[in-house]
Structures are given as C-alpha cells and as structure tokens.
Amino acid sequence: MRIDRIELIHVKLVLVSPFVTSMGVELDEEHIIIRVDGEGVTGWGESVAEGTPFYSYETVSTAWPVLSGFLIPWTLGKTFSSVGDAIQSWEKVRGHRMAKAGLEAALWDLFAKAEGRSLASLLGGKKDRVDVGVSIGIQDSVPHLLSKVDGYLKEGYQRIKIKIAPGQDLDLVKGIRKEFPDIRLQVDANSAYSLADIPLFKAMDDDRLILIEQPLGYDDIYFHSKLQKELRTPVCLDESIHSEADTLAALELDSCRIINIKPGRVGGFSESKKIHDLCLSRNVPVWCGGMLESGIGRAGNVALASLPGFTLPGDISASKKYYAFDIVDPEFTVNPDGTMTVPTGPGIGVEVNMKNLDRVTVTRQYFTA
C-alpha cells in the first residue's frame, strides 16, 4: 500500500452537558481527525489528544507538529506491506502516543478497507457485540446523580462508572448503593488521591465496586501497589499505563488487578493488542476506556473491545450521550441488552459524514507525497 496523501483536521465537538472530573470541567472536546489516502482507498483515525494538558501532557498543539514534522514525512510516499511495517520508523519518537495512535488508527482502517475486512476482524476480534457501560461526571448532588444513573440503566447500560474527587466520593458511592444495591458499579479518581487516603478507600471496600480506577499519581505504579495490598477491591490503572512494559511492571508489583486499555493513551491498536495478550495470558481482565471520542475513534474502540480479553464493559457509550450529532453514519447506539453492535463493514464500518465533519472543523492541513 502506497500512502499518497494525509490530512489533519482539528475538530471541536461541543458536549451535550459539561463533563466534570477531578481534573476540571470539560464543555467541549478538541481532537485531531486524520485522513489517509492510498491507492484510491481512504482510512480515518482520531487522535485523542485534547485541547488541555490535564489528562495527558499531549494536546492538539503538541500532537500536530509531531505528526506534521515527523510521523507524516516518514509515512508519506512510502509503500508498506502492513500497519506493523508502517509504524516501525515511529519508534524513534519517544512518547507522543496519542499522536502516533491517531495516524496508526487511520492506517488500520486503510489496510482493513483495502483487504475488504472489518477492522474488528483484522485486529483479531471475536465478538459481534460488546458489553458497554457509561462514565458519569461528578454531579452537584446525590439526587442528581441518582437520576442520571437511573436514566442510563433504563437505556440498557450494563455498568455505571462515576467520577470521584476528594469530598465528592464516599457519599456518592453509598448513595448509589442504597438506591441500586446490585448494579455493576466502579469509580474513577483520575489521580486525585494519595496514600493518606487509604482509610477512605477501605471505607468503600464493602461496596462491591468492580474496581477503583487510577486513585493515585498519574504516572505512579509503585504506590498503587501499596494501596492494592490494603484493599480487596481491585485497583485498575488508566493514566499510568502507556505500554506493554508498564503493564508488566504493574502486574508484577500487584499495583492493579485490572487494566483500562485506551488505544490513544498507549500509542495505538498494536500496543493495545500486546497489552491485551499479556493480560489474557495472566487472566487479568481488561476493558476499553474512552476519551469522549467522535464516532471515528469510537468505531476503533468498539472493534478493539471485540477481542476476547475485554471481559468487562467498556466506557463506550452511544453517540448521543456525548454529542448532539456525530460525524459518522450511522451514529453509535446501545442495544436494549446493554451491548453495542460491532460494525461488520470494511474498516471502521461507518461512513464519515462530511457535512457534519465540516461543522466541527477548526482548521485542516493536508500533505501530499
């Protein structure tokens, strides 16, 4: 496959409601949509670097020059036999995994379409539907939170994840457990706590949480192992895991017993597969996290989650949970049984809606061989 043209599209998607976490309030989501053309086929990917360096050091304005100055020149005009072949030269760039993942995703879509196969099947997916959950931002009161939870359960979501932050944690968990004793529930702290909070987490240890996501430092593996030893509830790492090597270190140290795989955070589907395979070989459950993606990124997450080791519901929700309109047709919906159907068409299996893409575009730049 010869790569003839690559386009970067800076998009800004307005959320239907503010998303509040321990990191702050998000009103909209800026990402980079990446289009790759080769031999008459078009592939699409999404880089989940955001407008702000709060979840990750990467932003749209760091990913863009890494793509335009390094990854794109190393890819354009070249002929590759596979995605693995194309990304080999990128190892020279340290970090910048969200930049890499966006371009890699577009190449996966391109190769899958060229072979007339779905992305899910090319990645090694086995399921035709994936179990999905919802991530609920911090609400201003427990009654508000309970009504949100109730609404999402009625839509079919199989598990609820709530964001927590110091002072907005135990009351929320206890409040939900009182009203919904049996639902599948987990919490995400986005690194807002320290080991001084061990008593707080112990106080949740009887609430049958599936997991506690990223309670401590965003780059920490060691201190999470101290916390995990004090708890029966599994710790799950998100921010701290950037690679298969990080995953191995975390599992060897017993820093967590579950891994959240986000393809953007770990540098793409290739690294995601390695983490998945390692966890599967050690019977460690994984699930697919989300970064409030448009339908382009969401399609990739759904395909990845169809791999057999993804045994817990993902943060993969319906398009309408996030945005008034999606930039793909058809938009993603949740089945009444709390699953999402894995597209079977070539590549990502959904069509980019060019009119809607234009509506959310801030700037674009294209590169030709």
Are the C-beta atoms of 103 and 73 separated by less than 8 Å? Answer: no
- Closest C-alpha among 53, 45, 39, 29 to residue 4: 39
Q: Which two tokens stand for residue 119?
A: 């992305």
Binding of ligand OSB at residue 317 (CB under 6 A)? yes
H or E element: which one contains 287? strand 286-288
- Binding mask of the shown chain, residues 239 to 278, with x at each position contacting ligand OSB by CB under 6 A: ----------------------------------------
By DSSP bridging, strand 339-341 and strand 286-288 are: unpaired
Binds ligand OSB (CB under 6 A): choice among 45, 102, 267, 290 = 290
- Residue from 123, 241, 250, 291 in contact with ligand OSB (CB under 6 A): 291
By C-beta, is 122 or 164 nearer to ligand OSB? Answer: 164
Among 341, 339, 26, residue whose Cα is nearest residue 157:
339
Query: Which string of x and - marks every residue 125-144 that binds ligand OSB (by CB under 6 A)?
Result: ----------x---------
Interacting residue with Mg ion among 50, 109, 238, 246 (CB under 5 A): 238
Is residue 188 involved in binding Mg ion (CB under 5 A)? yes
Neighbours of 130 (CB within 10 A): 25
Q: Is 315 in the site for Mg ion (CB under 5 A)?
A: no
Which is the catalytic residue, given 163, 229, 273, 274? 163
Site for ligand OSB, residues 184 to 203, rule: CB under 6 A: 188, 190
Indicate which residue of 100, 113, 161, 262 is catalytic. Answer: 262
Rounded CA separation 8/120 (Å): 24
- Residues forming beta bridges with residue 10, ordered by sequence position: 32, 363
Under DSSP, is residue 257 helix (H, G, I), strand (E, B) or coil? coil
Any contact of residue 46 with Mg ion (CB under 5 A)? no
Q: Which residues pair with 294 in a beta bridge?
A: none
Per partner kind, with CB cut-offs from 5 to 8 A, the member of ligand OSB, Mg ion, none near residue 46 is none
122 binds, among ligand OSB, Mg ion, none (CB under 5 to 8 A by kind): none
The C-alpha R_g of the chain, in whole angstroms, comes to: 20
- Residue 158 near which of Mg ion, ligand OSB, none (CB within 5-8 Å, type-dependent): none
CB environment 173-184: b (16+ within 10 A), e (fewer): bebbbeeeeebb
From CA 295, how far away is CA 327, in angstroms rounded? 6
Min CB(260)–Mg ion separation in Å: 6
Catalytic: 262?
yes
Which stretches of the chain bind ligand OSB, using CB under 6 A?
A: 55, 135, 188, 190, 238, 289-292, 315, 317
Q: Which residues in this chain contact Mg ion in the complex, by CB under 5 A?
A: 188, 213, 238
Cite the active site residues: 163, 262
